[in-house]
Amino acid sequence: MSEQEAYLEQYTSELQPLLWQFVQQEGHLSGPILETVDLDELWPALAQPYMESAVPDFEQYPLVSLGWMTFVGMAMAVLWDEDWERYQSMGSILYTQLRNARGWDELDEYVLEEVFGLSVGSEEANHYTDLVRRLAELALTQLRHEGAEPSSPLAFQLYARTLFVLYRMGVALGLARLGYHVSQAN
């Protein structure tokens, strides 16, 4: 493993517990992070088309560029629960359909309304919107703390790692909302 790969692994291994701890401290979830290998394996297929939407917005709208990935993770958890046999082979098409339903700017509202079935402006929808914004703020703080030169290959790699962690937070939030929890094996 190269020095840069080790550095990126270290960054990711510190960011994920930090964001998970924040979610727990806010009383949103407890226990170990909810995850599924199926959705981790889907990440590469989602990442490229997502970045095509998000990277151009990063400079002016960094919280949207980061935070919308959490909503994507939430939506993927619902699809995983609904009919994974149907959706697993669709890869990048899943993200494209999600984005195109209302456009990039309203991806958050689409997930809340059409995927989660919430009314925009409802207490629960506002709860998720606020949580995702605060997760994106914390992630952005950590990303900027790394001090990578803007537009450098390292900055891009850190950005991609940050998106992956936010995606996993979204998956965990989606799975929790669906009633999944980690149980102890006897």
Whether 176 contacts 127, CB under 8 Å: no
What pTM did the predictor assign? Answer: 0.94
Which long-range CB contacts under 8 A does 108-111 form with residues at least 24 apart? 108/67, 108/68, 108/71, 108/132, 111/71, 111/72, 111/74, 111/75
- 28-32, 79-83, 84-88, 100-104: least confidently modelled range: 28-32
Map out the domains of the chain as residue ranges.
3-30+37-177
40-50 per-position pLDDT tens digit? 999 999 999 99
Of 185, 137, 135, the closest CA to residue 165 belongs to 135
Of 29, 55, 3, 2, the closest CA to residue 162 belongs to 55
